[in-house]
Amino acid sequence: MQVTRVATQPIEGQKPGTSGLRKKTRVFMQAGYLENFVQSIWSGIGGVDGRVLVVGGDGRYFNDAAIQVILRMAAASGAAKVIVGQDGLLSTPAASNLIRKRGADGGVILSASHNPGGPDEDFGIKYNTPNGGPAPEAVTDAIYAATQSIDHYLTLETPDIDLSTLGETRVGAMVVEVVDPVADYAALMEELFDFNALRALFVSGYKVHFDAMHAITGPYAVEILENRLGAAKGSVKNAVPLPDFGGGHPDPNPVWAKELMAAMYGADAPDFGAASDGDGDRNMIVGKSCYVTPSDSLAVLAANAHLAPGYATGLKGVARSMPTSCAVDRVAEARGMACYATPTGWKFFGNLLDAGLATLCGEESAGTGSDHVREKDGLWAVLMWLNILAVKRMSVGEVMAEHWAEFGRTYYSRHDYEAIDSQAANGLMDDLRAALPDLIGREVAGLVVQSAEDFSYTDPVDGSTAARQGIQISFEGGARVVLRLSGTGTEGATLRVYLERFDARDFGQDPQAALAPVAAAIEALAGIKARSGRDAPDVIT
Ligand code: VG1
Ligand code: CO
């Protein structure tokens, strides 16, 4: 087959963020935009000649067309084989699992995750390394460098490849293997969790409401929860993946998963509620009138993981992203486990998991996972919770009460100021950063600053460093605030303000009320309202 060499030139702004390159879908659809980035991935990883890759995405608008481009470009650059999910679908954790299970040389995942999809919304692409995890910064830096010097890309002239039929076909000399996106993932879940105990739970009439938000987890959740575990048919809502996620925002939090919140806080609420995001790596857990913050969820899983068969021998350690609350630190301390704090983004957990320093990891943004794959994993977290509940024979609310009674409660909330002016956002961060050295010991709105730093991370495994990862200010008495700018947005800047306050005794407060003094202190220090031009955050989770 004839390889076509297409001349091109660098396109500005192809710098991967927290999790791959995310842009408006129409930006990706411009001639050469995707092609430039894909060729730059090949360059950044030293070529794909003779290599085996996994490719799939969350099914959002442009997923199908983008996969055809990637298959042609992989073949043109000499890849030996590409393993693709049927119809181009793979959840992010399932892609990670496939890379590992098949010993692939890496993978390309198409998703903008929790960002809405559609021609006027967002699209994204990221590269995962042979361990199944998101490329570390050294690799994304090499890819970015390649986007800045690219002068051609290679492709093939072929008709579209049929991805609807399981089995092997060829594009040029390259084998394309179309696989069931769910099978290997479901098998992995059966190894980790007590499916008999879970089946018994559902046979007893236990009711679950899983909201797939019209995104990728629908087929996975139907197969695992309904078909294999016997949850009532229809327990999985919005189960059919749609290119625009039904016009919704596939971000599992109380703001965007409204339907689920209404069901769980209404009369006749099911026993357990959960949701996942666009690409299936996030999770939201909610009991009857009991929303569990992701930071608390991580702490509960760390305290109880040994109840699931896959973790019966205990955890090697735990890790959280820096803005995630310190609730898990208290569990680690009590259980004598190591606890690591990393910058935001799952790529920073990879080395800890590979080296066996941590078994469980989590982020405040509804991401939890373990060393079973190298991505966060939404359905995994749901099954882990269900396994724990089945063993403890408790409700979600009872588990939370028990947890706080033992470890205390860390009130937590994130305030997002979305799509604000980039210059204003950078100015706010720069000025606050400059003020940090003088803050220690100062009283601000009634709170005394204990420490103030711009978070830097040194990876304990390979010694790589990441600086300027977020401003962290701790106050005396167990309160903390973190400020950082989002690296996944596609419009202006998004300022995230993470608030927390520890309380050893009083567990029944409204989180926003409990955190009001911390919010007042950071407002006094950073002048968020004036600089952002907003009276209040756009999204509070
Ligand atoms: C956000 C979250 C971060 C998460 C990232 C990717 O990044 O805060 O915790 O790892 O999204 O998640 P940022 O830079 O916008 O704060 V996903 O499910 O979008 O792949
Ligand atoms: Co996601």
CATH number at residue 219: 3.40.120.10
Judgement on whether residues 357 and 224 belong to the same structural domain of the protein: yes
Q: Collapse the DSSP code of 283 into the 3-class scheme (helix H, G, I; strand E, B; otherwise coil) and give the result.
A: strand
| Ligand 1 center to 349 CA (angstroms) | 13
Residue with tokens 């967002």: 122
Q: Which of 15, 18, 22 to mutate to test the pocket of ligand 1 (most atoms within 8 A of CB)?
A: 18
pLDDT at residue 63 in the model? 98
The CA dihedral of 160, 166, 171, 174, to the nearest 10 degrees, is 150
CATH of the domain at 443: 3.30.310.50
Task: Tell me which residue of 112, 187, 111 sits closest to 372, measured CA to CA.
Answer: 187
CA distances from 502 to 96, 178, 475, 505, 514 (A): 35, 50, 11, 9, 9
User: Active-site positions?
Assistant: 113
CB atoms within 10 A of CB 418: 17
CA distance 301 to 361: 10
ipTM: 0.98
349 CB within 6 A, ligand 1: no
Listed in sequence order, the DSSP H helices in 86-211 are 92-101, 137-147, 183-192, 195-203
CA distances from 486 to 21, 295, 374, 390 (A): 13, 18, 22, 37
Q: What is the largest CA-CA distance in the chain?
A: 72
Judgement on whether residues 419 and 401 belong to the same structural domain of the protein: no
Contacts 24+ apart (CB under 8 A), 443-447: 444/475, 444/521, 444/524, 444/525, 445/517, 445/520, 445/521, 445/523, 445/524, 446/517, 446/520, 446/521, 447/475, 447/476, 447/477, 447/479, 447/517, 447/518, 447/521
Q: Collapse the DSSP code of 26 into the 3-class scheme (helix H, G, I; strand E, B; otherwise coil) and give the result.
A: helix
Last residue of a domain, one of 179, 210, 230: 179
CB atoms within 10 A of CB 398: 14
Query: Splitting the chain (541 residues) into consecutive groups of 10 residues, what average pLDDT does each group show?
Result: 94 94 97 98 98 98 98 98 98 98 98 95 97 96 98 96 97 96 98 98 97 97 98 97 94 94 97 98 98 98 98 98 98 98 96 98 98 98 98 98 98 96 96 96 96 97 96 97 92 95 96 97 96 95 93
pLDDT at residue 491 in the model? 85
Judgement on whether residues 243 and 322 belong to the same structural domain of the protein: yes
Judgement on whether residues 395 and 413 belong to the same structural domain of the protein: no
pLDDT at residue 222 in the model? 98
Burial per residue of 214-248, b for 16 or more beta-carbon CB atoms within 10 angstroms, e otherwise: bbbbbbbbbbbbbeebbbeeebbbbbebbbbbeeb
Name the residue at shortest CA distance from atom 6 of ligand 1.
19
- What range defines the domain where residue 141 resides? 3-179
| Ligand 1 center to 395 CA (angstroms) | 29
Last residue of a domain, one of 144, 179, 214: 179
Judgement on whether residues 454 and 496 belong to the same structural domain of the protein: yes
Judgement on whether residues 385 and 478 belong to the same structural domain of the protein: no
Listed in sequence order, the DSSP H helices in 444-535 are 511-526, 528-532
Last residue of a domain, one of 164, 179, 194: 179
Ligand nearest to the CA of 367: 1
Query: What's the order of all strands across the beta sheet hosting 283-287?
Result: 236-237, 208-211, 272-276, 283-287, 290-292
Name the residue at shortest CA distance from atom 1 of ligand 1.
488
Question: How many structural domains are present in the chain?
Answer: 3
Judgement on whether residues 353 and 475 belong to the same structural domain of the protein: no
pLDDT at residue 489 in the model? 83
pLDDT at residue 1 in the model? 72
Judgement on whether residues 240 and 98 belong to the same structural domain of the protein: no
pLDDT at residue 388 in the model? 98
Around 15, how many Cα atoms within 13 Å sit in the side-chain half-sphere?
7
Judgement on whether residues 402 and 421 belong to the same structural domain of the protein: no
Judgement on whether residues 147 and 118 belong to the same structural domain of the protein: yes
CB atoms within 10 A of CB 376: 29
pLDDT at residue 171 in the model? 94
Q: Which of 15, 217, 293, 344 to mutate to test the pocket of ligand 1 (most atoms within 8 A of CB)?
A: 344
Q: Which of 365, 412, 497 to mutate to test the pocket of ligand 1 (most atoms within 8 A of CB)?
A: 365
Judgement on whether residues 240 and 164 belong to the same structural domain of the protein: no
| Ligand 1 center to 224 CA (angstroms) | 26
CA distance 40 to 140: 10
114 CB within 6 A, ligand 1: yes
Judgement on whether residues 255 and 335 belong to the same structural domain of the protein: yes
